């Protein structure tokens, strides 16, 4: 039987490591002073393209942005 003593606190709180990591990164970014804060927030933005496939061929891709302020 496995012991629960070594379970990380984020796991015992019902979180995944990714969600825990995102919360920590947000806290660090919000604690920074300018101009470092705005630089860090700009680096957080993610842009990607999505293409649907029909009959084995891609359709025109759409560019998406996954940034927190949108």
| Residues 7-65 pLDDT 10s | 788 888 888 888 888 888 889 988 999 999 988 888 877 777 888 888 988 888 887 77
Tokens of 35: 């101009």
Which structure tokens are listed for 29?
A: 């970014």
Instruction: Tell how strand 47-50 and strand 53-54 pair up.
Output: unpaired
What is the pTM (predicted TM-score) of this model? 0.53
């Amino acid at each position: 039987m496995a012991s629960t003593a070594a379970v990380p606190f984020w796991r015992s709180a019902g979180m995944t490591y990714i969600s825990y990591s995102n919360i920590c990164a947000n806290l660090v970014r919000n604690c920074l002073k300018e101009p470092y804060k705005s630089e860090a927030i700009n680096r957080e933005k993610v842009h990607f393209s999505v293409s649907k496939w029909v009959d084995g061929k891609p359709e025109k891709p759409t560019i998406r942005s996954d940034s927190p302020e949108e």
